[in-house]
Amino acid sequence: MIKWGIMGSGNIANSFVKGLQVIEEADLYAVASKSKGKGEAFAEKYQIKKVYNSYEELAKDPEVDVIYISTINSLHEACIDLAIDNHKSVLCEKPLSLDADTCKRLCKKAENNGSITKVVCF
CATH of the domain at 6: 3.40.50.720
Residue 122, in any domain of the structure = no
14: containing domain: 2-113
- For every residue of 60-95, DSSP letters joined together read H-TT--EEEE-S-GGGHHHHHHHHHHTT-EEEEPSP
Is residue 121 included in any domain, yes or no?
no
What secondary structure, in 3-state letters, does 5-68 show?
EEECCCHHHHHHHHHHCCCCCEEEEEEECCCHHHHHHHHHHHCCCEEECCHHHHHHCCCCCEEE
Residue 74 falls within a domain, yes or no?
A: yes
Give 116's pLDDT tier (boundaries 50, 70, 90).
low
> What is the rounded CA–CA span in Å between residue 36 and residue 45?
14
Residue 47's pLDDT band, with cuts at 50, 70 and 90, is: very high
pLDDT tens per residue, range 28-38: 999 999 888 99
Q: What is the pTM of this model?
A: 0.89
